[in-house]
């Protein structure tokens, strides 16, 4: 018998950017069917990226692999809590990875909540309904902004998110005054806000 999922996989499944349309599907199959096949697909798609993130942030290969596994296992465990309206699924994976890295690599308490916890804790009536709508569209806009930012702004933002450097260390790394690093971040942030303005 034909395996339904492998038969319906789009061409280019394992290439760099197929997750956009499939991520929520995978999550819902994990949540409702407890599908191991979906979990493996999710893992193959995101595991290497999360491991890469951990190594960039200073983990050795062994710890990076462990934390990548733990990230995706957390997704498996909490998939039932996730609902697509609450926010981007990729954001969810990012926040889980980020908090594990704070805990295990920086050895600090992670004060950042996971996005699903945000959503649960906030009474829905204090967030305008429009704000939680269309996470997909937000995600596409953010990816577009990232591509359009001038290189000097991309550089500082990447050093913060990907390399995990505080602003002061970014300044040292680039031999720039702290004020310059901050104004580049503010400019990048302003572009992000402008791009998302009409979605609020």
Interface positions, 70-89, toward other proteins (CB under 8 A)? 72-73, 76-78, 80-81, 87-88
Cα–Cα distance measured from residue 189 to residue 195, given in angstroms and rounded to the nearest whole number: 10
For other proteins, the closer CB: 29 or 98: 98
Q: How far is CA 88 from CA 21, 64, 103, 142, 185, in A?
A: 12, 24, 23, 11, 23
User: Could you tell me how many residues of this chain bind other proteins (CB under 8 A)?
Assistant: 85
Residues 100-129 that bind other proteins (CB under 8 A): 101-102, 106-113, 115, 117-118, 120-122, 126-127
- Using CB under 8 A as the binding rule, whether residue 153 contacts other proteins is answered as no
User: Taking Cα atoms as reference points, which of 144, 96, 141 lies closest to residue 117?
Assistant: 96
18-37 positions binding other proteins, by CB under 8 A: 19, 34, 36
Site for other proteins in 157-196 (CB under 8 A): 157-158, 160-162, 164-167, 178, 182, 185-186, 189-190, 192-193, 196
Binding of other proteins at residue 63 (CB under 8 A)?
Answer: no
Residue 134 binds other proteins (CB under 8 A): no
Question: What is the 3-class SS of 84-150, one letter each residue?
Answer: HHHCCHHHHHHHHHHHHHHHHCCCCCCCCCCHHHHHHHCCHHHCCHHHHCCHHHHHHHHHHHHHHCC
């Amino acid at each position: 018998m034909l395996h339904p999922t492998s038969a319906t996989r789009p061409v280019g499944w394992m290439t760099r950017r197929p997750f956009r349309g499939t991520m929520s599907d995978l999550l819902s199959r994990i949540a409702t069917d407890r599908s191991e096949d979906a979990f493996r697909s999710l893992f193959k798609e995101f595991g290497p990226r999360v491991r890469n993130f951990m190594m960039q942030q200073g983990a050795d290969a062994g710890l990076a692999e462990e934390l990548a596994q733990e990230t995706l296992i957390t997704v498996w465990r909490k998939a039932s809590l996730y609902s697509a309206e609450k926010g981007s699924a990729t954001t969810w994976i990012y926040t889980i990875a980020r908090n594990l890295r704070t805990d295990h690599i920086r050895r600090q308490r992670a004060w950042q909540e996971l996005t699903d916890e945000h959503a649960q804790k906030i009474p829905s009536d204090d967030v305008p309904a429009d704000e939680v709508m269309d996470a997909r569209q937000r995600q596409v806009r953010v990816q577009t902004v990232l591509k359009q930012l001038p290189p000097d702004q991309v550089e500082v933002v990447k050093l913060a998110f990907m390399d995990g450097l505080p602003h002061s260390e970014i300044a040292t790394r680039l031999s720039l005054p702290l004020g310059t690093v901050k104004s580049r971040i503010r400019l990048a942030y302003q572009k992000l806000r402008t791009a998302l303005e009409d979605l609020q």
